[in-house]
Structure 1
Amino acid sequence: MANTYTQIHIQAVFAVKDRASLIRTEWKDDLFRYMTGIIQKREHKLLAINGVSDHVYILIGLRPSQSISDLMKETKIGSMNFINDSGLTKSKFSWQDGYGAFSYSMSHISRVIKYIQLQEEHHKKKTFLQEYTEMLDKFQIPFEERYLFKPVM
Protein backbone atom coordinates (compact mmCIF):
# COMPACT_ATOMS: atom_id res chain seq x y z
CA MET A 1 0.00 0.00 0.00
CA ALA A 2 1.73 3.13 -1.21
CA ASN A 3 1.92 6.02 1.23
CA THR A 4 0.76 3.88 4.16
CA TYR A 5 3.01 4.10 7.20
CA THR A 6 2.28 2.15 10.36
CA GLN A 7 3.87 0.94 13.55
CA ILE A 8 1.66 -1.80 14.97
CA HIS A 9 3.24 -4.20 17.45
CA ILE A 10 1.11 -7.12 18.62
CA GLN A 11 1.98 -9.85 21.10
CA ALA A 12 -0.16 -12.93 20.49
CA VAL A 13 -0.57 -15.80 22.93
CA PHE A 14 -2.25 -19.14 22.26
CA ALA A 15 -2.30 -22.58 23.82
CA VAL A 16 -2.30 -26.23 22.85
CA LYS A 17 -5.80 -27.75 23.00
CA ASP A 18 -6.68 -28.65 26.60
CA ARG A 19 -3.28 -27.12 27.45
CA ALA A 20 -1.70 -30.52 26.88
CA SER A 21 2.10 -30.46 27.13
CA LEU A 22 2.74 -31.57 23.56
CA ILE A 23 5.35 -29.10 22.27
CA ARG A 24 8.63 -30.93 22.70
CA THR A 25 12.06 -29.34 23.07
CA GLU A 26 13.42 -31.56 20.27
CA TRP A 27 11.19 -30.00 17.60
CA LYS A 28 10.10 -26.70 19.10
CA ASP A 29 12.67 -24.71 17.05
CA ASP A 30 11.40 -26.33 13.84
CA LEU A 31 7.85 -25.36 14.78
CA PHE A 32 8.89 -21.78 15.50
CA ARG A 33 10.75 -21.56 12.17
CA TYR A 34 7.66 -22.83 10.38
CA MET A 35 5.44 -20.29 12.15
CA THR A 36 7.95 -17.56 11.34
CA GLY A 37 7.70 -18.51 7.67
CA ILE A 38 3.90 -18.20 7.74
CA ILE A 39 4.11 -14.75 9.32
CA GLN A 40 6.88 -13.49 7.02
CA LYS A 41 5.14 -14.82 3.91
CA ARG A 42 2.34 -12.36 4.71
CA GLU A 43 4.98 -9.58 5.00
CA HIS A 44 4.64 -9.12 8.75
CA LYS A 45 7.80 -8.77 10.81
CA LEU A 46 8.38 -11.43 13.44
CA LEU A 47 10.20 -9.82 16.38
CA ALA A 48 10.15 -12.70 18.88
CA ILE A 49 8.71 -16.19 19.25
CA ASN A 50 8.99 -18.64 22.12
CA GLY A 51 6.91 -20.83 24.33
CA VAL A 52 6.84 -23.84 26.53
CA SER A 53 5.22 -27.24 26.20
CA ASP A 54 1.64 -25.97 26.25
CA HIS A 55 1.59 -22.45 24.78
CA VAL A 56 3.32 -19.98 22.45
CA TYR A 57 4.08 -16.25 22.51
CA ILE A 58 4.70 -14.29 19.32
CA LEU A 59 5.59 -10.59 18.93
CA ILE A 60 4.79 -9.24 15.48
CA GLY A 61 5.22 -6.01 13.60
CA LEU A 62 1.80 -6.22 11.96
CA ARG A 63 1.10 -4.91 8.45
CA PRO A 64 -2.35 -3.33 8.11
CA SER A 65 -3.06 -5.44 5.01
CA GLN A 66 -4.17 -8.39 7.15
CA SER A 67 -6.20 -8.57 10.33
CA ILE A 68 -4.71 -10.14 13.43
CA SER A 69 -7.58 -12.65 13.47
CA ASP A 70 -6.80 -13.81 9.92
CA LEU A 71 -3.08 -14.03 10.70
CA MET A 72 -3.69 -16.04 13.89
CA LYS A 73 -6.06 -18.38 12.07
CA GLU A 74 -3.52 -18.94 9.29
CA THR A 75 -0.63 -19.39 11.74
CA LYS A 76 -2.50 -21.83 13.95
CA ILE A 77 -3.92 -23.93 11.10
CA GLY A 78 -0.62 -23.99 9.20
CA SER A 79 1.45 -24.93 12.25
CA MET A 80 -1.11 -27.55 13.35
CA ASN A 81 -0.91 -29.15 9.91
CA PHE A 82 2.90 -29.01 10.04
CA ILE A 83 2.96 -30.84 13.37
CA ASN A 84 0.41 -33.47 12.28
CA ASP A 85 1.87 -34.02 8.79
CA SER A 86 5.37 -34.37 10.27
CA GLY A 87 4.18 -36.92 12.85
CA LEU A 88 5.71 -34.93 15.70
CA THR A 89 3.10 -36.09 18.22
CA LYS A 90 1.59 -39.51 18.85
CA SER A 91 -1.94 -38.13 18.90
CA LYS A 92 -3.61 -35.52 16.72
CA PHE A 93 -2.33 -32.04 17.57
CA SER A 94 -4.67 -29.04 17.81
CA TRP A 95 -4.46 -25.51 19.14
CA GLN A 96 -7.13 -24.40 21.58
CA ASP A 97 -9.74 -22.01 20.20
CA GLY A 98 -9.00 -18.34 20.62
CA TYR A 99 -5.90 -16.32 21.43
CA GLY A 100 -4.82 -13.25 23.32
CA ALA A 101 -3.55 -10.22 21.42
CA PHE A 102 -1.95 -7.24 23.12
CA SER A 103 -0.56 -4.08 21.53
CA TYR A 104 2.65 -2.35 22.58
CA SER A 105 4.32 0.95 21.84
CA MET A 106 7.83 1.06 20.39
CA SER A 107 9.24 2.03 23.79
CA HIS A 108 8.15 -1.33 25.24
CA ILE A 109 9.33 -3.65 22.45
CA SER A 110 12.75 -4.57 23.87
CA ARG A 111 11.17 -5.46 27.22
CA VAL A 112 8.50 -7.63 25.55
CA ILE A 113 11.13 -9.41 23.44
CA LYS A 114 13.13 -10.21 26.57
CA TYR A 115 9.98 -11.42 28.31
CA ILE A 116 9.18 -13.77 25.44
CA GLN A 117 12.76 -15.04 25.27
CA LEU A 118 12.66 -15.93 28.98
CA GLN A 119 9.38 -17.89 28.98
CA GLU A 120 10.95 -20.97 30.53
CA GLU A 121 12.17 -18.87 33.48
CA HIS A 122 8.79 -17.17 33.98
CA HIS A 123 7.01 -20.50 34.23
CA LYS A 124 9.22 -21.66 37.06
CA LYS A 125 7.49 -18.94 39.13
CA LYS A 126 3.97 -18.66 37.63
CA THR A 127 1.54 -20.90 35.85
CA PHE A 128 0.35 -19.98 32.38
CA LEU A 129 -3.14 -19.22 33.72
CA GLN A 130 -1.72 -16.85 36.36
CA GLU A 131 0.43 -15.13 33.76
CA TYR A 132 -2.41 -14.85 31.25
CA THR A 133 -4.99 -13.47 33.70
CA GLU A 134 -2.41 -10.93 34.91
CA MET A 135 -1.97 -9.76 31.30
CA LEU A 136 -5.73 -9.46 30.82
CA ASP A 137 -5.98 -7.45 34.05
CA LYS A 138 -3.00 -5.25 33.15
CA PHE A 139 -4.57 -4.40 29.79
CA GLN A 140 -7.97 -3.94 31.49
CA ILE A 141 -9.59 -6.59 29.31
CA PRO A 142 -12.75 -7.93 30.91
CA PHE A 143 -13.06 -11.72 30.78
CA GLU A 144 -15.12 -14.60 32.04
CA GLU A 145 -13.15 -17.45 33.57
CA ARG A 146 -15.18 -20.04 31.66
CA TYR A 147 -13.79 -18.64 28.39
CA LEU A 148 -10.14 -18.69 29.42
CA PHE A 149 -7.81 -21.34 28.05
CA LYS A 150 -8.80 -24.62 29.64
CA PRO A 151 -6.56 -25.82 32.47
CA VAL A 152 -4.25 -28.78 32.08
CA MET A 153 -6.20 -32.03 32.33
Structure 2
Amino acid sequence: MGQSLVKNYIHIIFTTKYRQPWILPEIELFLHQKIIALSKDMDSPILAIGGSVDHLHILCNLSKQIALSAYLETLKSKSSYWIKGEPLFVANFYWQAGYAAFSVDPKNINLLVNYILNQKKHHETRDFELELKLLKSRYGVR
Protein backbone atom coordinates (compact mmCIF):
# COMPACT_ATOMS: atom_id res chain seq x y z
CA MET A 1 0.00 0.00 0.00
CA GLY A 2 1.50 3.32 -1.06
CA GLN A 3 -0.23 5.48 1.53
CA SER A 4 -1.09 5.39 5.20
CA LEU A 5 -4.77 5.35 6.09
CA VAL A 6 -5.47 6.25 9.70
CA LYS A 7 -8.55 7.27 11.67
CA ASN A 8 -7.82 7.44 15.41
CA TYR A 9 -10.78 8.70 17.42
CA ILE A 10 -9.54 9.26 20.98
CA HIS A 11 -11.53 10.23 24.08
CA ILE A 12 -9.15 12.11 26.39
CA ILE A 13 -9.75 13.25 29.95
CA PHE A 14 -7.40 15.29 32.10
CA THR A 15 -7.71 17.39 35.23
CA THR A 16 -6.36 20.57 36.70
CA LYS A 17 -3.56 20.09 39.20
CA TYR A 18 -4.96 18.84 42.53
CA ARG A 19 -8.37 19.09 40.84
CA GLN A 20 -8.49 22.82 41.57
CA PRO A 21 -11.65 24.57 40.26
CA TRP A 22 -9.71 26.79 37.85
CA ILE A 23 -11.81 26.41 34.69
CA LEU A 24 -14.25 29.14 35.60
CA PRO A 25 -17.12 30.17 33.30
CA GLU A 26 -15.35 33.41 32.36
CA ILE A 27 -12.35 31.53 30.91
CA GLU A 28 -13.92 28.26 29.78
CA LEU A 29 -14.82 29.30 26.23
CA PHE A 30 -11.43 30.95 25.69
CA LEU A 31 -9.64 27.86 27.00
CA HIS A 32 -11.67 25.57 24.76
CA GLN A 33 -10.95 27.79 21.73
CA LYS A 34 -7.23 27.77 22.52
CA ILE A 35 -7.14 24.00 22.88
CA ILE A 36 -9.10 23.55 19.64
CA ALA A 37 -6.61 25.81 17.81
CA LEU A 38 -3.59 24.00 19.30
CA SER A 39 -5.05 20.64 18.32
CA LYS A 40 -5.79 21.84 14.80
CA ASP A 41 -2.15 22.97 14.51
CA MET A 42 -1.17 19.36 15.29
CA ASP A 43 -3.50 18.08 12.55
CA SER A 44 -5.74 16.51 15.19
CA PRO A 45 -9.17 18.11 14.86
CA ILE A 46 -11.34 18.18 17.96
CA LEU A 47 -14.88 16.90 17.46
CA ALA A 48 -16.05 17.80 20.97
CA ILE A 49 -14.68 19.49 24.07
CA GLY A 50 -16.38 19.94 27.43
CA GLY A 51 -15.95 19.44 31.12
CA SER A 52 -16.34 21.15 34.45
CA VAL A 53 -14.35 23.48 36.67
CA ASP A 54 -11.64 20.87 37.30
CA HIS A 55 -11.38 18.64 34.23
CA LEU A 56 -11.78 18.41 30.46
CA HIS A 57 -13.05 15.80 28.05
CA ILE A 58 -11.84 15.94 24.47
CA LEU A 59 -12.79 13.82 21.49
CA CYS A 60 -10.25 14.22 18.74
CA ASN A 61 -9.18 12.53 15.55
CA LEU A 62 -5.51 12.04 16.44
CA SER A 63 -3.09 12.67 13.59
CA LYS A 64 -1.04 9.78 12.28
CA GLN A 65 1.97 12.10 12.61
CA ILE A 66 1.99 12.44 16.41
CA ALA A 67 2.09 10.12 19.38
CA LEU A 68 -0.67 10.53 21.95
CA SER A 69 1.82 11.40 24.72
CA ALA A 70 3.47 14.11 22.59
CA TYR A 71 0.06 15.48 21.58
CA LEU A 72 -1.03 15.79 25.20
CA GLU A 73 2.28 17.21 26.38
CA THR A 74 2.03 19.95 23.77
CA LEU A 75 -1.67 20.61 24.35
CA LYS A 76 -1.36 20.82 28.12
CA SER A 77 1.90 22.79 28.29
CA LYS A 78 0.91 25.38 25.66
CA SER A 79 -2.60 25.90 27.03
CA SER A 80 -1.26 26.22 30.59
CA TYR A 81 1.38 28.73 29.46
CA TRP A 82 -1.26 30.70 27.55
CA ILE A 83 -3.66 30.85 30.52
CA LYS A 84 -0.93 32.09 32.86
CA GLY A 85 -0.21 34.95 30.46
CA GLU A 86 -3.78 36.20 30.28
CA PRO A 87 -4.31 39.09 32.75
CA LEU A 88 -7.71 38.07 34.14
CA PHE A 89 -7.11 34.34 34.24
CA VAL A 90 -5.48 32.04 36.81
CA ALA A 91 -1.80 32.92 37.18
CA ASN A 92 -0.89 29.67 38.90
CA PHE A 93 -2.81 27.36 36.52
CA TYR A 94 -1.44 23.85 35.97
CA TRP A 95 -2.74 20.63 34.50
CA GLN A 96 -2.29 17.36 36.39
CA ALA A 97 0.51 15.24 34.91
CA GLY A 98 -1.64 12.22 34.08
CA TYR A 99 -4.54 11.63 31.74
CA ALA A 100 -7.00 9.00 30.58
CA ALA A 101 -7.31 8.19 26.89
CA PHE A 102 -9.55 5.65 25.20
CA SER A 103 -9.95 4.67 21.57
CA VAL A 104 -13.49 5.12 20.30
CA ASP A 105 -15.48 3.05 17.84
CA PRO A 106 -16.65 5.34 15.01
CA LYS A 107 -20.18 3.99 15.54
CA ASN A 108 -20.20 5.60 19.01
CA ILE A 109 -19.00 9.08 18.00
CA ASN A 110 -22.41 10.77 18.17
CA LEU A 111 -23.15 9.37 21.63
CA LEU A 112 -19.75 10.47 22.90
CA VAL A 113 -20.06 13.97 21.42
CA ASN A 114 -23.39 14.35 23.23
CA TYR A 115 -21.86 13.04 26.47
CA ILE A 116 -18.93 15.48 26.26
CA LEU A 117 -21.05 18.50 25.36
CA ASN A 118 -23.37 17.82 28.31
CA GLN A 119 -20.71 17.47 31.01
CA LYS A 120 -22.09 20.18 33.26
CA LYS A 121 -25.52 18.56 33.40
CA HIS A 122 -23.92 15.15 33.82
CA HIS A 123 -21.91 16.34 36.84
CA GLU A 124 -25.01 17.57 38.62
CA THR A 125 -25.66 13.94 39.55
CA ARG A 126 -22.27 12.22 39.27
CA ASP A 127 -18.89 13.35 40.57
CA PHE A 128 -15.64 13.00 38.63
CA GLU A 129 -14.34 10.05 40.66
CA LEU A 130 -17.41 7.95 39.93
CA GLU A 131 -17.37 9.02 36.29
CA LEU A 132 -13.75 7.93 35.90
CA LYS A 133 -14.40 4.64 37.68
CA LEU A 134 -17.29 3.87 35.31
CA LEU A 135 -15.22 4.81 32.24
CA LYS A 136 -12.33 2.63 33.38
CA SER A 137 -14.73 -0.27 33.85
CA ARG A 138 -16.35 0.30 30.45
CA TYR A 139 -12.98 0.34 28.68
CA GLY A 140 -11.49 -2.50 30.75
CA VAL A 141 -8.79 -0.39 32.40
CA ARG A 142 -7.63 -1.19 35.92
2:61 equivalent to 1:64:
no
Q: TM-score when scaled to structure 2?
A: 0.95
Give me the whole-angstrom Cα distance separating, in 2, the residues matched to 1:110 and 1:119: 15
Residue type at the aligned position of 1:59: L
Deviations 1:89-134 (A, max 9, x none): 1x51101111000111110000000000000011001000110111
Residue type at the aligned position of 2:45: K
Partner residue of 2:96?
Answer: 96
Task: Spell out the pairing of 1:13-28 with structure 2 (5 A cutoff).
Answer: 13-28=13-28
Give me the whole-angstrom Cα distance separating, in 2, the residues matched to 1:96 and 1:106: 28
Alpha-carbon shift at residue 63 of structure 1 (Å) = 1.3
Partner residue of 1:46?
Answer: 46
Partner residue of 1:114?
Answer: 114
Task: Please give the secondary structure, in 1, of the residue aligned with 2:102.
Answer: strand
Q: TM-score when scaled to structure 1?
A: 0.89
Partner residue of 1:151?
Answer: none
Deviations 1:51-92 (A, max 9, x none): 110000000011111011100110000110111011301x51
Task: Please give the secondary structure, in 1, of the residue aligned with 2:109.
Answer: helix
Partner residue of 1:150?
Answer: none
Task: Please give the secondary structure, in 2, of the residue aligned with 1:11.
Answer: strand
Task: Please give the secondary structure, in 2, of the residue aligned with 1:10.
Answer: strand
Give me the whole-angstrom Cα distance separating, in 1, the residues matched to 2:101 and 2:93: 22
Give me the whole-angstrom Cα distance separating, in 1, the residues matched to 2:86 and 2:51: 20
Give me the whole-angstrom Cα distance separating, in 2, the residues matched to 1:51 and 1:81: 20
2:73 equivalent to 1:73:
yes
**Alignment gaps of 5+ in structure 2:** none
Partner residue of 1:129?
Answer: 129
Identity of aligned residues (%): 26
Task: Please give the secondary structure, in 2, of the residue aligned with 1:96.
Answer: coil
